[in-house]
Amino acid sequence: MKKVFLLVAMYGFFIQSQAQSVMTKDVPASIKAGFKKAHPNAKNLKWIKEGTTFESEFTENGGERSATFDDSGLLLESEKNIKIASLPAPVAKYVADNHKGKKITEASKIKDRKGVVTYEAEVNGMDLIFDAKGNYIKSVKD
């Protein structure tokens, strides 16, 4: 029993050390400047530090979004929640063929710093990643 408790405690510490909420005042000025430039109309801003990157979660133009920055303030990727119906058509076919009886519960459009677009469809606790045309790339445990 002690081993189980110790493992659970260690796991909790590991998870806590990987991603931590950060007060806006503790975010480096270069990152705040990069964020303000990329998202001048953001509201309800929250920051999370993950290793050397900072992820912002916020609302903008009525939608939920997030953006990830490196420690110099460079925007690495941005993500916005979208309607499931806005996913490319092949995504729905892939889910119907490969996850029978399961439904897409959430959808996002992701753009990396080079402008490459991918889509994310949450199905049964998994994030399914697709390219801009809706071709399956990989699954990531949510």
* Residue 17 in this model has a pLDDT that exceeds 50: no
Q: What is the mean pLDDT of residues 7-27?
A: 65
pLDDT tier, 63 (very low <50, low <70, confident <90, very high otherwise): very high
- Output the six-digit token pair for 34: 């990069």
| Rg of the chain, C-alpha, whole Å | 18
CA triplet 53, 55, 56: central angle to 5 degrees? Answer: 145
pLDDT tier, 5 (very low <50, low <70, confident <90, very high otherwise): very low
For the full predicted model, state whether its pTM sits above 0.85: no
Residue 58's pLDDT is what? Answer: 97
Residue 18's pLDDT is what? Answer: 63
Q: What percent of the chain has pLDDT over 90?
A: 80
